[in-house]
Amino acid sequence: MKSSLFIKILREKKLLLPPLSGYTDYPFRVILADFKPPFIITEMANARAIVQRNRRTMQILKIAEGKQYNGVQLVGSIPEYMSRAAKIVEDLGFDYIDINMGCTARKVACRGEGISLMKHEVRACEIVAAVTDAVDVPVTCKLRLGPSKQSMNVVALSEKLVDSGAVALTIHGRSGEKKFGLPVDLRIMHEAATVLTIPIIANGGIYTGSDAQQMIQATGAAAVMPGRGLIGNPWIIPEILSTISKTSFTPPTLQKKKEICRKHLDLLVDFYGERKAVLKMRSILPQYFSSCFFLKDLKLDVQQASNVSDIPMLLERLDDTKGYTIYDKNKK
């Protein structure tokens, strides 16, 4: 995929899906592909582990069938490993590569990866330059506003990353110390979109099509990236695309949500086996039905699930005959 085509589609569709560690695995990417997004990306994959052909890491790199362009997010701190991993994933058929400069997980940051790269701008630029030299596909980066509220360096660093070869940047509207749920800083994202010549993708606080539209209007970003709003809600893809294109969007029925949730379970079982599939559904299933009444009961009951057969039983307890979705824990 040429950079010019990547940018053209990004500006037209205005949507880039997120890399969500633990969620955008292969089974969920198969689900997402059915909703026809322009781009799908893996959860983050460790560059050194790719070079070493680590079995679990190579599992991350399975591409879901579909007409979308497929990206992979690399995490690492050593330019040589990043460039070698980039070449490997390019050869596997990925269409673009994203470099993680925003993950705040302690085990990532303490290795000089993720958000730590925003503290070490020279190393960050060396990595981008090494990756772009190694591959022919577009290279992007995902950043935060800065490593801390005392060091909001995203605009200055972004200019250097562009000079190093990045063709687009995703900016999460919080600093490295801010937690999810806190307001995003639209002002700094707007500054970046104004100063930089490449497309900026705005990320943070996007849960609806309206959120996406308002984010674009407020920041001047070329596109948006929903984050946790995608978990259990692949319908946010057509919702955002419809809102931006000013076409109609029909929310899913409860039965449709159940159908997709069952398909998700089947894909998890096929990919991971029954035990791990059930463990993953403990966090995924409540996200599909996050607006139901008595959600707390659903969350408690799904934590007790130990067999694959327990999941369909929980789904049968969800009902919308009264005009709203309710979870009845006493329903057999």
What gap in Å lies between CA 170 and CA 141, rounded to an integer? Answer: 6
Which residue, among 272, 199, 260, has the nearest Cα to 38 in the 3D structure? 199
Q: Is 103 marked active-site?
A: yes
Strand intervals (E) in the chain: 39-46, 69-75, 96-101, 139-143, 168-172, 200-203, 223-225, 318-319, 326-327
Which phi and psi angles does 243 have, rounded to 5°? -65, -45
Nearest C-alpha neighbor of 143 from the set 166, 165, 110, 163 = 166
Largest CA distance in the chain: 62
Helices 295-303 and 274-288: crossing angle, nearest 10°?
A: 180
Cβ proximity of 314 and 298 under 8 Å: yes
What's the one-letter identity of residue 155?
V
Q: Are 102 and 172 in contact (CB under 8 A)?
A: yes
Report the C-alpha gap between 152 and 175 in whole angstroms.
7
Q: How many helices (H) and strands (E) would you count in the chain?
A: 15, 9
Where on the phi/psi map is residue 273: left (φ > 0), alpha (ψ -120 to 50), or beta?
A: left
Choosing from 103, 125, 141, 261, the catalytic residue is 103
Query: DSSP of 52-89, one letter per residue?
Result: TT-HHHHHHTPPPPSSSEEEEEEE-S-HHHHHHHHHHH
Dist. CA 263–CA 257, nearest whole Å: 10
Catalogue the active-site residues. Answer: 103
